[in-house]
Amino acid sequence: MRNIVTVSVLSFIFLLCSSNKLEFRKEYKLRTVVIDAGHGGKDVGCNGKFSHEADVALRIAKEVGSLIEKNVPDVKVVYTRKDDTFVELIDRAGIANKNNADLFLSIHLNSGPSAAYGTETYTMGLHTSEGNLNVAKRENAVILQEDNYEANYNGFDPNSPQSHILFALHQSAYIDNSLRFAEKIEREFKTRAGRKSRGVKQAGFLVLWKSYMPSVLIECGFLTNPTEEKFLNDKTGQSYIASGIYRAFKEYKQELEAMN
């Protein structure tokens, strides 16, 4: 009889603990996203024949944010800039960290030979080609316009391949989800927006360096390609790009929260 009582008591305790564990287990929710329009202010970024990267990136960034705010109202959208303002790279990640963001996405436009076209989405990591390194060098070179950049970035030299390798070792804790989100973005660009996807890549981007959450940098197209420049400056083209990023965001959010 004593054994039966003991087993019953232990079973009750186990069920009670399990119930409390279920009750107090915190389910993951993607609550805050930080959207970063690359460049701005004195830093115009790359140039096309009639447009600047900073301006086009801002328009796309604001449209992405608007789609999220309208269709996923439980998510807080924070912008690193909403006008033509210069924001240092280290402060962009700082905004994401300060707001305890669950996701950080930085929007840019690419440059290259006039025949180059298509989208690329980057995560922080080791560059695997000279092309990836060159993109990182170009985007990171903005620190030369910042005050005290050597102190802020621990002596980082934007022209040194070795510096990019060292900085790429950060963000490793978030690489899986960063890649997951990046792959969704490029798939949306290719299958729904009809864009040429140049794939998901990795390189040492300073803007992603100190962001303590999954982070991606999106190159939405080449301003140096005359056809793409027209597309990227057209409202319909910007809508295609923004919608692709939004749909990838929504799918990423749903997928992670379904794991609860």
> Nearest 5°: CA angle at 44, between 39 and 45?
65
Of 92-101, 167-176, 195-204, the least confident? 167-176
Mean pLDDT to the nearest integer, 176-187? 96
Nearest to 120 by CA among 94, 143, 103, 139: 139
Tell me the pLDDT tens digit for each residue of 211-253.
889 999 999 999 999 999 999 999 999 999 999 999 999 999 9
Quote the pTM value: 0.79
Tell me the pLDDT tens digit for each residue of 127-178.
544 655 576 667 767 767 877 766 776 666 766 666 655 555 555 678 899 9
Predicted confidence at residue 47, as pLDDT, reads 97
> Which has more confidence, 141 or 73?
73
Contact 205, 184 (CB under 8 A): no
Of 13-17, 24-28, 66-70, 232-236, the least confident? 13-17
Contact 120, 110 (CB under 8 A): yes
Mean pLDDT to the nearest integer, 192-217? 88
Could you please report the per-residue DSSP string of 90-135?
Answer: HHHHHHHHHTT-SEEEEEEEE---TT---EEEEEES---SHHHHHH
Report residue 109 as tokens.
């436009």
pLDDT at 50 over 60: yes
Predicted confidence at residue 6, as pLDDT, reads 46
pLDDT at 31 over 80: yes
Domains in the chain, CATH or no CATH each: 28-257 (3.40.630.40)
Contact 165, 204 (CB under 8 A): yes
DSSP SS3 for 218:
strand
